[in-house]
Structure 1
Amino acid sequence: MSEIVGIIIFYIFILLGLFVAIYGVLAVDYLLFPIGVFLIIIAFLLKLEFKVPVLFWKNDD
């Protein structure tokens, strides 16, 4: 997988998961919230599996 494609897919899964989880909380839907959480978990599993170089903060070393 190309690095650019991997990063884009990672952020799409994160944003989709956050949107679904927040909508599930606001709509009090007990099915949508876990689906959103699982989408976020899937994004991080894909990041680990394909070694996608996504940084959330910069190390000041």
Structure 2
Amino acid sequence: MPDARPASLTLAALDALPDDHDFGGWGLPLVMSLSVTHGLESTATGKWVYAVLQEPPGT
């Protein structure tokens, strides 16, 4: 099961330079930052990762 990194997201932290091989793993922090709720469940065949997003007001 994945572990989320601390969600201290900045443009510098997300900058993936060609010689920098540690630029992955931001999926869960992004989901955590943008969702109302989220979760992760282990199944016999893998895992389910889900997020509930809120519709912006006035849409």
Q: Same fold (TM over 0.5)?
A: no
The structure carrying a bigger strand percent of its residues is 2
TM-score normalised per structure 2? 0.30
The structure carrying a bigger helix percent of its residues is 1
